[in-house]
Amino acid sequence: MTADRDASFAVLDTFYELGGRMIDTAEGYSAWVPGHKGGESETMIGLWLDARGVRADMRIATKTNMYGKPGMLAPGKLAAALDGSLERLRTDYVDLFYAHRDDPQTPLDEVAEGFDALVKAGKIRSSGASNFTAERLAASLDAAARVGATPYTALQNEYNLVARDQYEGAVQDLCVKRGVIMLPYYGLASGFLTGKYRSEADLAGRARGESVRRYLQTGQAALATLDAVAAETGATQAQVALAWINAKPGIGAPIASATSAEQVRELCGAASLVLQPEQVARLDAAR
């Protein structure tokens, strides 16, 4: 969360007016901003929910253990982290609570029981995993079944046109087979798939410059195909990139961030864009 209250409220108001009903955040957002320590995003969302009186309309997802520290998914740690998030969000429950990263130290049976206790307490509606491998996700689902706990219902891994390895293949097969909905983050590859960043010169002075640089060499074929499909459909590159994700098996919806009401309107337009199978196939091959 890098915007002030007025800018944040403008983005959230526009999202709501356009029918947006799910917000993704985390306890650690936005600790990477100088002077921030985490919790800023949840706090701003909580202020907006309270001011607008729309909590019952919204589905709120948040996460704990952003840095993947050992022991942080133990039941007591989970409960304490959730309580902090609920306070910042000004609510008594969240709809989806993720393990932001895996915890290799805490036994998976205990992790499953910890999340299940929060479901039974009415503090969360469901739980999810983020940044998990297929092996660890499968083991987590098996652990939940073994102890009679509510299993993870959602996965949030990176997935977009130029970064596919955290979903395609074993993870996707598992999600489809076990009924886990994928809600991928970095749907626009940190802005690269908007078409705004095509050379080193385009990155100068940009906050996301380092995140985008890795795609300048490897992503040009994808960007060229994205340009072509955007021209064919009359949509923007960002809308096509998100529509491509929506066309994939197992996807619930892609996650993308916006810093202005105008960007929100553009991104929400992707929800109604349906690509032709031939266009999806061309984008698939552009790598």
Average pLDDT on 85-114 reads 99
Which residue is catalytic, options 29, 98, 152, 159?
Answer: 29
Q: Cα–Cα distance between 82 and 104 in angstroms, integer?
A: 20
Instruction: Kindly report the pTM of this predicted structure.
Output: 0.95
How many CB atoms are closer than 10 A to CB 58?
A: 19
4 pLDDT higher than 70: yes
216: nearest Cα among 231, 196, 235, 233: 196
Average pLDDT on 25-50 reads 90
**Bigger pLDDT: 182 vs 212:** 182
209 pLDDT higher than 90: no
Exposure b/e, 90-112, CB count within 10 A at least 16 = b? bbebbebbbbbbbbeebebebbb
The pLDDT value given to residue 180 = 99
Residue 1: pLDDT band by 50, 70, 90 thresholds? low
**Bigger pLDDT: 174 vs 3:** 174
**95 membership: H or E segment, kind and range:** strand 94-99
Local structure of 114: helix, strand or coil: helix
192 pLDDT higher than 60: yes
The pLDDT value given to residue 206 = 74
Q: What is the DSSP letter of 238?
A: H
67: nearest Cα among 30, 100, 21: 100
Local structure of 130: helix, strand or coil: strand
| 67 catalytically annotated | no
Q: What is the pLDDT of residues 236-258, one digit of tens each?
A: 999 999 999 999 999 999 999 99
The pLDDT value given to residue 2 = 66
Q: Cα–Cα distance between 132 and 144 in angstroms, integer?
A: 16
262: nearest Cα among 10, 73, 53: 10
Looking from the CA of 93 toward its CB, the CA atoms found within 13 Å total 16
The pLDDT value given to residue 167 = 99
Local structure of 98: helix, strand or coil: strand
Q: CATH code for 5-156?
A: 3.20.20.100
Average pLDDT on 216-244 reads 97
Contact, 189 vs 199, CB < 8 A? no
The pLDDT value given to residue 205 = 72
How many CB atoms are closer than 10 A to CB 221?
A: 12
